[in-house]
Amino acid sequence: MYFSQHDIQQFDDRYRALMINSLSGFKSANLIGTADKDGNENLAIVSSVFHLGANPPLMGMIIRPNSVPRHTLENILQTQFYTINHVNTDIVVSAHQTSARYDKTQSEFDAVKLTSQYLNDFSAPYVQQSRVKIGLALRYTQTLEINKTELVIGEIIDVHIECDSICDDGFVDLEKMGTVAVSGLDSYHSTKPLGRLKYAKPFEPPQFIDLENQQPSD
């Protein structure tokens, strides 16, 4: 099936949004925890968090101009701190519900029955039920003129991960913790391992990393 630029322009808005959101592939599912300067908490699901670099440890995300996470953006700009919390299979329904357009004064933590948690004097709230919790300090924001979305870059300050999920080499086993993936606007997925592949070298055949608890397939 072929769609031209012209076909895509002719789609109705909802159809276009669902289709184009599917085209990037599987996306991360994260809850962004913030509070304003008076301590009013906010929580928003975001599927645009991406890895930007390991040294310094940086994560990026995209915030849409008129979306619910706009409250999130206001809080980040005000306080300079926020948390990223992985959505897992146990909290996927509550996490999705944070995308409803609650008033700014309504805490999504209360509305969707997730618990805010403060750790190590970090000023922004974590999600207690999440198993990978990251505290970030704002480092850079920029409005992307091409479509007025906001690029937000933060540096990782604190990381909390459930025990026994980090391999000896640093790899974090997201599957073991039930972290989910998103596709399109509203579809959630758990994952199954296909295997880890060794660092690739030219003219050497690809090899799976032999992990006791991971049966390579394919």
Least distance to a copy of itself, CB of residue 74, Å: 19
- Beta carbon nearer to a copy of itself, 2 or 37: 2
| 70 in Cβ contact with 63 (< 8 Å) | yes
Q: Which residue has the tokens 């799976």?
A: 208
Least distance to a copy of itself, CB of residue 36, Å: 19
Between CA 1 and CA 43 the distance in angstroms is: 39
Least distance to a copy of itself, CB of residue 138, Å: 11
Least distance to a copy of itself, CB of residue 39, Å: 22
Least distance to a copy of itself, CB of residue 77, Å: 17
- Beta carbon nearer to a copy of itself, 199 or 212: 199
- Beta carbon nearer to a copy of itself, 37 or 180: 180
- Beta carbon nearer to a copy of itself, 37 or 137: 137
The one-letter amino acid at 166: I
Between CA 28 and CA 43 the distance in angstroms is: 16
Residues 6+ apart with CB under 8 A from 135: 81, 83, 119, 120, 122, 124, 126, 156, 157, 158, 159
Q: Which of 29, 186, 44, 32 minimizes the C-alpha distance to 108?
A: 44
- Beta carbon nearer to a copy of itself, 35 or 44: 44
For residue 148, the SS3 value is coil
Least distance to a copy of itself, CB of residue 63, Å: 11
Classify burial at 63, counting beta carbons within 10 Å of its beta carbon; exposed 0-12, middle 13-18, buried 19 or more. buried
Q: Which of 114, 110, 67 minimizes the C-alpha distance to 93?
A: 114
| 98 in Cβ contact with 44 (< 8 Å) | yes
- Beta carbon nearer to a copy of itself, 37 or 213: 213
The one-letter amino acid at 158: D
